[in-house]
Amino acid sequence: MLQIGQTIIECVQGDITKENVDCIVNAANEHLAGGGGVDGAIHRAGGPSLMAELKAKYKGCPTGSAVITGAGNLSAKYVIHAVGPRWKDGLYHEAEHLASAYQKSLELAKEHGCKTIAFPAISTGVYGYPKEEAAHVAIRAVLAFIKTYPGFEKIRFVLFDAESLTIYQKYLP
């Protein structure tokens, strides 16, 4: 755990769909079409209203960006659907796109008055982003954002497995 001003940043192992926060970030795809992993879990827990709202409001979302919907059956108020990059070899601006996905998510949360937010490890599942590098990029992006735009009470990285938790904790100063 790290505290910067009023913001607590922490890493926990768990189920992001069970988080009691203002908004949950979903690791989405560019088509906002639902999928497996975190995306599938959030859509199952949130119910069909998530997909209905996505289809009604958006025609997709480019890599490195994010869109926001209500949270359906989740305890959160919002779900932010962030599109991280597919890992190729690190030479295709993957780090910039991943950092941007976190930054855009924080911008949307701030615009909607959210004080607490839960992130998964974006792009580390089927998109193949190496966990060590993803953790470094994610935490660096969050720290940079809150130093410029304070106001969050809690930013939580909710990691699915013990390995990811250990890695993310290593990069939290």
Which residue shows structure tokens 């996905």? Answer: 101
| Closest by Cα among 167, 166, 161, 146 to 9 | 146
Name the DSSP letter for residue 20: -
Specify whether 39 is catalytic.
yes
Extract the runs of DSSP E, i.e. beta strands, from the chain. Answer: 2-4, 7-13, 23-28, 66-70, 78-83, 116-119, 154-159
Q: How far apart are CA 96 and CA 138, in angstroms?
A: 10
Q: Which of 15, 22, 39, 161 is catalytic?
A: 39
Q: Half-sphere exposure of residue 117, counting CA atoms within 13 Å on the CB side? A: 30
Q: Cite the active site residues.
A: 39
